[in-house]
A = this chain, B = another copy of it.
């Protein structure tokens, strides 16, 4: 057991440096790093490396991979415990319509949330997850500048391909296993409060698979072959667009919510006893209204009256989602064409005990069996498997205690709906993991993505978020 860590010194430093921390956060957000579009990746990796250095880390390096580089760093801590912090420095694209503020200017705006008035930064990546990354590095910096070291040894791994399915993370982790194997647990900084201030902790993540289906006259042997032709020919020529529509319709129920692919749900495990308790507990406190407000939706697929059912739906449902669909003339006006192909993008979220690798073959078999053998299926990113961690793990308990000390006991969810490549650390190195923290952000993958910087009684501001992170590291240092 190490000597008691002087948390207050670090907290004072955070308060003193807050303005600079906000400036650093804004600088990181304003640096584009859209991996889908290969935009600003190298520059962002270099900026993250600089931030590691400024935070007082050692061994800082930009490690090349076959794709985007990993930014590595380490930091000696005040205890024997070693925490690996996993970050992503890439973001989704930011060229969609609907932004009320410029997507890359990190403007500070007044915002009225169900939890009350706050000030927030609006920018792509603010919530997901360059905001939490910057906050964590600021908290490390404050520790180093005040106490001299953080409460635990740190290994920092920032990847730039999370939004591409982290194709090169496993390769990197295998290669750098010697250094990384010193870690006792993995942590992914994340804003865990919802818009009315409720704290949420996710024990795991779903896996994800992403592919395209293309129906072309060329492969079909019917319809236009190389280009769209005059639509008058529909009278005697087949349509690849209609074919894609009819192929897709076989894959879900009329409401689009139940997947009709044979075997799709076969490996879905029922909630464990532990999960049953967790869900029952979560159902007591989960507020569907806050989620509806955050997503700006009017209703869920199922009734809100049964909150446990709603939570089960969110955490246990494996989904087949159409992310995009296109074909033919999609600009203004009335170009009359019979298109030669139509394409859609699909993601499948994978839950325990489904296997990521089984999903595309199931879709392929379904298409073949329904006579759509010609429809081309292309993996767009490698995706990854689901990953879960028990609520009893020390690192999870440390984050729960931190929530309680700073805000309230979090609502614990068996998984988030989203995906993070924890499987890499858990499968290759047997590391337990947790994700989260206080603070609030929203509209990940949507226009007007934001993170709260000046909070109120219910929602943490940036200083409090950073203090939480120091506190969490200290709690983890004291675990058995």
A residues sitting closer than 8 Å to B (CB atoms) are 35-37, 92-93, 96, 98, 163-165, 206, 208, 210, 217, 221-239, 241-243, 245-246, 248-249, 252, 254-257, 295-302, 310, 313-315, 317, 319-339, 342, 345, 347, 349, 380-381, 416-419, 443-448
CB–CB A238/B444 < 8 A: no
Partner of A297, one of B224, B248, B301, B302: B224
CB–CB A237/B295 < 8 A: yes
Q: Which residues of B contact A313 (CB under 8 A)?
A: 235-236
CB–CB A298/B380 < 8 A: no
CB–CB A336/B235 < 8 A: no
Once A248-B245, A326-B325 are accepted as A-B contacts, the answer to whether A317 and B235 lie under 8 Å apart by CB is: yes
Q: Which residues of B contact A98 (CB under 8 A)?
A: 226-227
CB–CB A237/B332 < 8 A: no
Bound-state CA distance A342–B330 (Å) is 11
CB–CB B241/A335 < 8 A: no
Partner of A338, one of B92, B252, B321: B321
CB–CB B333/A380 < 8 A: yes
CB–CB A230/B36 < 8 A: no
CB–CB A321/B36 < 8 A: no
CB–CB B323/A325 < 8 A: no
Least CB distance, A360 to chain B, in whole angstroms:
13
Partner of A36, one of B35, B241, B331, B418: B331
Bound-state CA distance A257–B163 (Å) is 40
Q: Which residues of B contact A164 (CB under 8 A)?
A: 333-334
Least CB distance, A200 to chain B, in whole angstroms:
13
Least CB distance, A451 to chain B, in whole angstroms:
15
Least CB distance, A19 to chain B, in whole angstroms:
31
CB–CB A417/B233 < 8 A: yes
Bound-state CA distance A255–B246 (Å) is 8
CB–CB B322/A326 < 8 A: no
Q: Which residues of B contact A295 (CB under 8 A)?
A: 224, 229, 233, 237
Listed by A's residue number, 15 A-B pairs whose Cβ atoms lie within 8 Å are: A36-B332, A164-B333, A224-B297, A227-B443, A231-B347, A243-B255, A246-B249, A323-B335, A323-B336, A324-B330, A325-B342, A326-B327, A326-B330, A329-B345, A337-B445
Closest to A222 in B: B299
Partner of A336, one of B35, B231, B445: B445
Bound-state CA distance A226–B295 (Å) is 10
Least CB distance, A324 to chain B, in whole angstroms:
4
Least CB distance, A85 to chain B, in whole angstroms:
23
Q: Which residues of B contact A252 (CB under 8 A)?
A: 242, 246
CB–CB A255/B238 < 8 A: yes
CB–CB A297/B237 < 8 A: yes
Bound-state CA distance A181–B433 (Å) is 84
Bound-state CA distance A230–B143 (Å) is 34
Q: Considering residues A223, A333, A380, which has the most beta carbons from chain B within 10 angstroms of its beta carbon?
A: A333
